[in-house]
A and B are shown apart, each in its own frame.
Chain A
Amino acid sequence: MWNKISQLLAFFENTIVGVLIMYSALMLFTQIIARAVFNYSFSWAEESVRYAIIWMVFMASSIAFRQNAHISIDVLKQILPKSMLKPFQAAICTICLMTTMLLAWFGWELASRMMMFGQVSSAMEAPMYIFYLSIPISSIFMSIRISESFVSLFSKTNKDTNIAFEEVS
């Protein structure tokens, strides 16, 4: 059951980041063509690309947790005796989880404050909290992925799911 949900979330993450990065490339290219050929500029092009990429980065951070791809100094992991590995990785998961939950909490607090103050972006004049929500929402996704890794440390059956702590190419 959880595997189904997890796959659905993965599909959701992949679709968001894929669409956003493609949008960014196409929008900037369109901007160049419009300026060079038609001497016209979209005033919201740069801003929309900035916020698209910010959403993309935080959502893709969740995928990176799923693939255990976040950059770290993993020397200690390589020299630890096998018996220590599991508690060690459990500790890492716990600390990561604490951090992403703090991000979710304070991210939500900041976004809701922005909702209250009603700041809008400078070019699109869109509410800023929509973009700031990228951090708390993605942090919830990250928390889910970290929890999955944590659980998989202690369950023997789930070896085939590609969640964390398997080597990534």
Chain B
Amino acid sequence: YSTTVIKVHSDTTEDSAQQEGLERFKELVETRSNGEYDVTIYPNNALGNDVEVAQQMQFGAVQAAPIPTAKLSGFNKDLQLIDMPFLFPNREVAYQFLDGDIGQEVLSGLRKSGFEAAMFWESGFKQLTCNSPIDNPKDLQGKKVRVMESPLLISQYKALGSNPVPIAFSETYTALQQGVVECQENPLVSISQMKFYEVQKNLMMTNHGYLGTAFVFSKMWFDSQSAEHQALLLQAAREAGKYQRERSITREDVYLSGIKAAGSTKVTTLSEAQLDEFQAAMSPVYKEFGNKLSKGLLERSQAELKKLSSL
């Protein structure tokens, strides 16, 4: 037999939890297939950015990748569910929900867009950074906030009365530094690696959104593999995903202490009551985007999350 090459895309540097997860995936797939698969990881967007690679996967030019749900929402609206503000109260609930029935339902919905999804990996909870301290939603009024080019995030900040400005991830540092925008939101991994803290005076630990990634295979390619190998691949992606989540949690502490040690950024932890205010102020998003999702998905999700939270 000849070896089959699996090209795996990654949007992060080699020094990341995602890379560690992908290396575990490589190891599992290569040993369990007795070398029938040869996994090559392409970090740093070497094959293109997330959306571009997702397109390449649709016709089988790239075989696998963890892709942020926000970037997949252009392919399937239901992925926007994960981006709703304050959807998950904490990581445990998030994992239970994403690995549960509804999470799996959202993932399998990606089949009709050309992806075979294995599991949700993660970048972590999003935090807010700003040049001025933000203690309640009113402090964000009139502020220019850099956001991803996503209608949901744009409307989330419009709901707060601020001015959301979509700016490319690569231009964000400069834009913050030169004051084109004053605030931005991202998980700690990005705030640390892109050095946003160097140009932002305040970091508010808001955990106001969850940046999940869907580990997907190219469906076109996946369908051409034997049933046995398909099971192997899915299993490897899930086991590697568990490891990736662990590494993500461990690394967050390192990132946060690094930011604190740099000394130029004040880190604020908001109280439950303060966070409730933010949650209330962002809630119009649920009304606006809830009915863009599949019918009943939001209601069922909220019921399920309520159940999981009370356990």
Q: Check whether chain A touches chain B (CB < 8 angstroms).
A: yes
A39-B144 contact, Cβ under 8 Å, with A46-B149, A46-B166: yes
Q: State how many residues of chain B have any CB contact under 8 Å with chain A.
A: 24
B150–A122 CB distance below 8 A: yes
CB of A26 within 8 Å of the partner chain: no
| Complexed CA–CA distance, A39 and B144 (Å) | 8
Chain A residues closer than 8 Å to B265, beta-carbon distance: none
Chain B residues closer than 8 Å to A121, beta-carbon distance: 74
| Complexed CA–CA distance, A40 and B158 (Å) | 10
Which among B75, B151, B166 is the interface contact of A119 at CB below 8 angstroms?
Answer: B75
The proximity string for A residues 55-79 relative to B, scoring 1 for CB distances below 8 Å and 0 otherwise, is 0000000000000000000000000
B55–A119 CB distance below 8 A: yes
CB of B35 within 8 Å of the partner chain: no
Q: Which of A111-142 contact B (CB under 8 A)?
A: 113-114, 117-123, 125, 128
Of A35, A113, A119, chain B has the most CB atoms within 10 Å of the CB of A119
Q: State how many residues of chain A have any CB contact under 8 Å with chain B.
A: 19
CB of B169 within 8 Å of the partner chain: no
Which among B73, B75, B165 is the interface contact of A117 at CB below 8 angstroms?
Answer: B75
B74–A119 CB distance below 8 A: yes
A122–B51 CB distance below 8 A: yes
Chain A residue at minimum C-beta to C-beta distance from B143: A39
Chain A residues closer than 8 Å to B168, beta-carbon distance: 46
Chain B residues closer than 8 Å to A46, beta-carbon distance: 149, 166-168
| Complexed CA–CA distance, A41 and B165 (Å) | 6
| Complexed CA–CA distance, A28 and B163 (Å) | 17
B55–A41 CB distance below 8 A: no
Chain A residue at minimum C-beta to C-beta distance from B75: A119
Which among A41, A113, A125 is the interface contact of B151 at CB below 8 angstroms?
Answer: A125
The proximity string for B residues 120-151 relative to A, scoring 1 for CB distances below 8 Å and 0 otherwise, is 00000000000000000000001010001111
A43–B114 CB distance below 8 A: no
A113–B58 CB distance below 8 A: yes
Chain B residue at minimum C-beta to C-beta distance from A47: B149
Chain A residues closer than 8 Å to B73, beta-carbon distance: 122
CB of A96 within 8 Å of the partner chain: no
Chain B residues closer than 8 Å to A41, beta-carbon distance: 144, 163-166
CB of A21 within 8 Å of the partner chain: no
B166–A39 CB distance below 8 A: no
Chain A residues closer than 8 Å to B142, beta-carbon distance: 39
CB of A101 within 8 Å of the partner chain: no
The proximity string for B residues 152-169 relative to A, scoring 1 for CB distances below 8 Å and 0 otherwise, is 001000000001111110
Chain A residues closer than 8 Å to B151, beta-carbon distance: 43, 122-123, 125
Which among B59, B150, B167 is the interface contact of A113 at CB below 8 angstroms?
Answer: B59
CB of B192 within 8 Å of the partner chain: no
| CB-defined A-B contacts under 8 Å, sample of 18 | A35-B144, A35-B163, A39-B163, A41-B163, A43-B154, A46-B166, A47-B149, A47-B166, A114-B55, A117-B58, A117-B114, A119-B55, A122-B51, A122-B71, A122-B73, A122-B74, A122-B148, A123-B154
Interface residues of chain B, those whose CB is within 8 Å of chain A, are 51, 55, 58-59, 71, 73-75, 112-114, 142, 144, 148-151, 154, 163-168
List 17 additional contacts besides A41-B164, A43-B149, A118-B113; criterion CB under 8 Å: A35-B144, A39-B144, A40-B163, A41-B166, A43-B151, A43-B154, A46-B167, A47-B149, A47-B166, A113-B59, A117-B75, A119-B55, A119-B74, A122-B73, A122-B74, A123-B150, A128-B74
Q: Which 7 A/B pairs are nearest by Cβ-Cβ distance?
A: A122-B149, A41-B165, A123-B149, A43-B154, A119-B75, A120-B74, A39-B163
